[in-house]
Amino acid sequence: MLSLFTGIISCTSQKRSSSAVATESRSKPRSSTSSESPVFLENISINAGKSSGTSRKPGGTRSTGSESTGTGKNVELSGSLQFKYAILLNVPVEEVTDTKMVETIESWYGTRYRFGGSDRNGIDCSAFAQTFIAAVYNISLPRTSIDQYHQSKRVHKSDLQEGDLVFFATRGRGSSRVSHVGVYLRNNKFVHAATSGGVMISDLNEMYYAQHFVGGGRVK
């Protein structure tokens, strides 16, 4: 696959995504008959406890019970993340099964945008795409969004699959030069490092992204 490159990203200013995390639950804590208390993740209230679902490990195997996940988070937290990302992706909770993908997003979620950055002190869009694709799919990408565009296969918007890249031209009206990149998840949602909100999940159908969408790319 492609080797890692170094360089400076060409991301430009963007409007803040309206696909914010669901508003804070206002339900009251459980009654005194329960020993469990709510856990709040990104303003989503989730009661702590064992997950009844399964999680997919890299390679397609499934695990149950009290086995730890790859990042050291236990099954209880994985169950909470499963619920959280079902809300963010607007899909049934049982469809959120890729533990590696979810935990990778979670580990970066909210990291601030920094032009030229590539770590948790600040990261730009192409560095995040590069890091995410390497962590989840073990595939190397070049460093800049324009190089990522040229070295991926064009994919129509209606044919996008999880792990495809999505490219935008954000340098002003009439510009067609790629200057921003994200990673497609599902249900028109993609994860990216935005200048306004850092690492976040947005929707391709939002007006700003729909107007500036250039195309999809599948890593060769």
* Active-site pick, 150, 156, 180, 212: 180
Of the candidates 56, 120, 53, the one whose C-alpha atom is nearest the C-alpha of residue 93 is 53
CA 26 vs CA 22, 43, 93: distances in Å: 12, 10, 21
**CA atoms of 164 and 133, how far apart (whole Å):** 9
Exactly one of 11, 125, 156, 212 is catalytic; which is it? 125
DSSP state of 38: E
- Give me the catalytic one of 11, 150, 156, 192: 192
CB burial of 76-110 (b: ≥16 within 10 Å; e: otherwise) equals ebbbbbbbbbbebbeeeeeebebbbbbbbbbebbe
156 belongs to the catalytic site: no
Is 11 catalytic? The answer is no
CA torsion, ordered 27, 21, 90, 14, to nearest 10 deg = 160
Rounded Cα distance between 96 and 163, Å, is 15
- At 159, phi and psi to the nearest 5? -105, 10
- Residues that are catalytic: 125, 180, 192
